[in-house]
Amino acid sequence: MSYLRNLMFAVGGSFALIASAQAAQEIEMHEVDAQGVGDSIGTVKIEDTQYGLLVTPDLTGLSPGAHGFHVHENANCEPLELNGQQTAAAAAGGHYAPDQAGTHQGPYGQGHLGDLPILMVDEEGGATTPVLAPRLKVSDLENRAVVVHEGGDTYFDHPKLGGGGSRIACGTLGK
């Protein structure tokens, strides 16, 4: 009888763990431009850890160097017309900020929750170096987009939104 009770506790405990930390998810990333969503360039794996969200890219076909990397508010990578110009992945909206934070401060600041550490691309155009976003969880990325920008990221509001400029790759996570 006590064996059975211990077993019940063990099973209940496992469910509690599953509820607090979601399973790892993979987000398929696609090239984007003003015409629409293009070919896949690989995946970004996201998983919860005790230090925050671990983001592990496996991407190819990017330009070498630092790229702005953010969670954007809508799970939509289509272009939209902004100020009379078709704009790549504009349907993804702005940087994810559920508390309406109006400032871009990077992953370690108090601004947009969706501000990830920069994505580093090697000389061959690949990105495989994991980054850690201490304020995020897998569940925060449900129904959102992950976006890679053409330029880097200052983690400040200037230049505009860290200076990344155009959106060059995008992927979405459903619910």
Which residues contribute to the site for Zn ion (CB under 5 A)? Answer: 95, 104, 112, 115
Instruction: Name residue 59's amino acid.
Output: L
CB closer to Cu ion out of 42 and 163:
163
Q: Does 104 engage in binding with Cu ion (CB under 5 A)?
A: no
Residue selected from 67, 70, 104, 137 as contacting Cu ion according to rule CB under 5 A? 70
Question: DSSP letter string over 88-141?
Answer: TTGGG-SB--TT-------TTSSS-TTBPPPEEE-TTS-B---EEETT--GGGG
CB closer to Cu ion out of 42 and 114:
114
* DSSP assignment letter at 92: G
Residue 86 three-state SS? strand
Could you identify the residue written with the tokens 């925050």?
52
* DSSP assignment letter at 35: T
**Partner from Zn ion, Cu ion, none contacting 67, C-beta within 5 to 8 A by type:** none
Number of residues that bind Cu ion (CB under 5 A): 2
CB closer to Zn ion out of 163 and 171:
163
CB closer to Zn ion out of 95 and 149:
95
Q: Least distance from C-beta 48 to Cu ion, angstroms? A: 22
The strand pair at 131-133 and 52-59 is best described as antiparallel
Residue 101 three-state SS? coil
Could you identify the residue written with the tokens 């061959």?
124
Q: Judged by CB under 5 A, which stretch of 32-40, 55-63, 66-74, 127-135 contacts Cu ion?
A: 66-74
CB closer to Cu ion out of 21 and 80:
80
Q: Least distance from C-beta 72 to Cu ion, angstroms? A: 6
Q: Does 147 engage in binding with Cu ion (CB under 5 A)?
A: yes
Residue 117's closest CA among 25, 36, 39, 53?
Answer: 53
**What is the binding site for Cu ion (CB under 5 A)?**
70, 147
